[in-house]
Structure 1
Amino acid sequence: MKPRQYPALAGQRNVHVYLFGTCVIDLFMPEAGLDAVRLLEHAGVTVHYPRGQSCCGQPAYSSGNPEQAREVARAQLHLFPEPWPVIVPSGSCAGMMRHHWPELFGDDPQAAARARELAERIYELSEFLLHVLHVDYQAAPAQADERVVLHTSCGARREMGTREHGVALLDALPGVTRVEHQRESECCGFGGTFSLKHPDISGAMVADKVASACATGCTRLVSADCGCLLNIGHAAQRQKAPLQVEHLASFLWRRVNGEQAAKEGVQ
């Protein structure tokens, strides 16, 4: 993966960003999106949320329907007109927008140019917090110690390199111990439409993931990808396994501002 050059925004005043909330967060885990906003505002950033946004187009793209993915992307290219970073609290969606949106418009030079310009402004949330804002959570309020396992989606790991960002942020939190498990690098079996087309294989994969996480003795799994969290969380419930799941944004916000502050939405 080619090293990325990051803008020097840390410490600047009047930093503005867009948030691309993702359809899964919007429909299933809205609190994770709100916690992403809270983390950014806590760092002094003004967050804008374009109301016309929808899906990144990844389900259609990964299912072999680039035409449908292109129309989804085309409908949103105009939603981020200012030259501000676009923050995505999902590594797989960020990867789709940064690496694949420009590819969708090979026969449309004008749209391709706009997609390339936008792609350069796409950042996964933990990447932006770590490498652009240079957040320092050492002064986070004292809380009960927690041991957690981390899961990084396949797309986030390959296309955005976000495992290293999640590791760095978790390891910097006072009172938090990140424990690696045997199957951390393996797919959870979700894979978007893969879980629908191959449910038996998907079920076996997520069962292995849950068992591996539980074998560490940890009772909480943290990830920055909601599709994986839904898959792993539901599997743990079906298996009656002692494993809770939490989006990285929500976990970070809870640890940075304290559990009660997170519940009340205090910034």
Structure 2
Amino acid sequence: MESFDSFWAVYSNLVLTLGTNSLLALSIYLTLSCGMLAMANAAFMGIGAYAASLLTMNAGAPFPLALAGGMAAPAVVALLMGGPTLRLSGVYLAMATLAFGEVVRIVVLNTESWTGGALGLNGIPPLTQWWHVALALAVAVAVLALMRRSKVGRAFEAIKLDETAAGLMGIDVKAHKMLAFVAGAMLAGLAGALNAHLTFFIGPNEYGFDRGVEILTMTILGGIHGLMGPISGAVILTLLPELLRGLADFRNVVNGLILVVIVLFLPRGLWDPARLRTLLGGRRA
């Protein structure tokens, strides 16, 4: 028990970061599962983090209400920007959502009285506990698992495969895209709210282009063919820098090489149900 206490004292933040990063990976998995390459998740994470932090710091709101606010704020923004933005597709949608992320960063920088500007917000109350993250991740996985098996999940898959054919079959493509976009924004906002009350400090540079690429990399690395894919990608990408810490200056080089090898030899990601069925079938034979 004493050894666990010492382990938790050192690595608690890392363990909880695994959970919040998993939520972020699932947030972009939602949009990818509907055939949309949207790169606004880092911005939605930032909106959720700032909204929840301002509620607890300035309004004295209880933590559950702050988390709800951290989900509601990016959802409202996603609804407002989704109309004109989701008409785009492919790289054009990615560029538009990246530009939105830059707009959010500039707004944060220029609202110093609320957000602290470039200095960020410091002294956020440390309210996030391990069970908050565990419960949020468990509920997210359960809801997404039910969604995958539902009519909505089948509609997402049809839109991803062929948007025109899905529309001809009677699927409301625009409504389903909006649903995926808003739900992904809510998950990213929840991750941001939990992370803000874990790290005690947030700043605008934490939610920029680099963060957006990192979230996308987690999901692509793990694979988008099952819910365990984004989670496994988030775990690998979060743990690798820590596991390679002993390599000092060569850590980033080795980290990059490992990711390249995984992408080259596992193009469908780490979690590939078809490959797992083949392996299990071969062992049984």
Larger fraction in strand: 1
Fold shared per TM-score above 0.5: no
Q: Tell me the TM-score normalized by structure 1.
A: 0.29
> Looking at both structures, which has the greater relative contact order when contacts are Cα pairs under 8 Å and sequence separation is at least 6?
2
- TM-score, length basis structure 2: 0.28
